[in-house]
Amino acid sequence: MQNINNIYFDYQATTPVDPRVLDKMLPYFSDIYGNPHSRNHSYGWFAEEAVEMARENVAKIIGANPKEIIFTSGATESNNLAIKGLAEFYGDKKNHIITCVTEHKCVLESCRYLAEKKDFKITYLPVKSDGLIDLNELKSHITEKTLMVSIMGVHNEIGVIQPLKEIGKICRDQGVFFHSDCAQAIGKIELDVEEMNLDLMSISGHKIYAPKGVGALYIRRKPRVRISAIMSGGGQERGMRSGTLSPALCVGLGEACNIYSKEMKKENQKITNLKDRLLNGIRNSCSDIYLNGSEIHRVPGNLNLSFAYIEGESLMMGIKNLAVSSGSACTSASLEPSYVLKALGVEEELAHTSLRIGLGRFTTEKDVDSAVKQIVSEVKRLRSLSPLWEMAQEGVDLSKIKWASH
């Protein structure tokens, strides 16, 4: 297969498996192939030992006990299980959930399911223009019927970091469960389930250099949090998630966490330097480049940029050697700009001009320099084609023009 997009800048979409992770996984495909749930022979015992070691590595990176970790197929499943499982177990007593308009679709859709089928009330918190929720607003919506608050740690599209510790404190004080989708947060920010008073946390493998198809859910034991299983089966994973585990995948997730436990600080510093090099490189040559989401409370690997006066998809077509993601949805079937950028109050015309550039473990200075060169040259070319750029240079106020919408 010919890979046309030859520099990868989409680390929020997914990451390659780290070779060190793959090395740890390989024996569990063919040599140590036992069913980890087989109790009667060494094939099973060795596989089980590997799974339990992996569980420890996952627990360690979030300050949890291994018994509080269950393996799943990924963050989508973990989010579904956390939200629907908790609702199923406690739903007859409390039926109100607070989440946020910019959450991942799997959280929003799980909530919508509960609202439509289980008579739950859902509060969707708005976000401020920096992408963060307002803590007072959160507090004001909690009632005695509130079962849980679900707010993600780091945002997939705009990279902003929500104040998990403060949210956790509010939830604990009010006796409300706190769930966080931390798919994009693991290895990017320090996470501690005690300090943050987290009751449930969703983890994804493929966002942290482990394979696709594996994830985990943290479920607090003290004080105990109960969830109902959403799949029926053999009762694996303490009865909460049936199905034979894949030791290879679990080992991969565990090793990915293990690497982050040791290297997170160093890696974040490296990515911060690369991010600065990229952003400054573009801004030194082009004006009117806007960063979406908080400048301060964000992870370094995510640059969600609006390139005023040029449309995002045309820019993507021009920088075809760079694999980036369109912030505007013009490439997908719907032509609506991103619901996340809309929620931030980014004007629609700017939302149409945005790209998400994701940096990660294997991004190099050479990659960044090449990206700056291509982006700058294409931004200049497309602006020379843009009637909006021309009008802005002539001093026309674009917001005063009566456009015929179509």
Residue 352 near another protein by CB under 8 A:
yes
Of 312, 304, 305, 343, which Cα lies nearest the Cα of 329? 312
190: alpha, beta or left? (left if phi > 0; alpha if psi -120 to 50):
beta
When computed from its CA atoms, the radius of gyration of the chain, rounded to whole angstroms, is: 23
Residue of 105, 198, 104, 97 lying closest to 138 (CA atoms): 97
Which member of 349, 370, 376, 377 binds another protein (CB under 8 A)?
Answer: 349
User: Choosing from 106, 257, 286, 330, which is the catalytic residue?
Assistant: 330
Say whether residue 309 binds another protein (CB under 8 A): yes
Task: Say whether residue 396 binds another protein (CB under 8 A).
Answer: no
Site membership for another protein, residue 117 (CB under 8 A): no
Strand, coil or helix: what is 204?
A: strand
- Residue 406 makes contact with another protein by CB under 8 A: yes
Specify the residue, 262 or 402, whose C-beta has the smaller distance to another protein: 402
Helix (H) or strand (E) holding 81: helix 75-90
| Residue 231 makes contact with another protein by CB under 8 A | no
Return the residue of 348, 364, 369, 393 that touches another protein, per CB under 8 A.
348
Single residue of 317, 362, 369, 380 touching another protein by CB under 8 A = 317
Closest approach of another protein to the CB of residue 71, in Å: 36
Separation of alpha carbons 332 and 208, rounded Å: 26
Does 4 help bind another protein (rule: CB under 8 A)? no
For the question of residue 330 being annotated catalytic, the response is yes
Distance, CA of 80 to CA of 90 (rounded, Å) = 15
Token pair of 319, please? 């920088």
- Is 229 a residue that touches another protein (CB under 8 A)? no
- The number of residues making up the chain comes to 406
- Closest CB 340 distance from another protein, rounded Å: 17
CB of 326 to another protein, least distance (A): 10
240: helix, strand or coil: coil
Secondary structure of residue 8 in the 3-state scheme:
strand
What residues make contact with another protein under the rule CB under 8 A? 309-311, 313-314, 317-318, 328, 330-331, 333, 335, 337, 347-349, 352, 384-390, 398, 403-406
Residues that are catalytic? 330
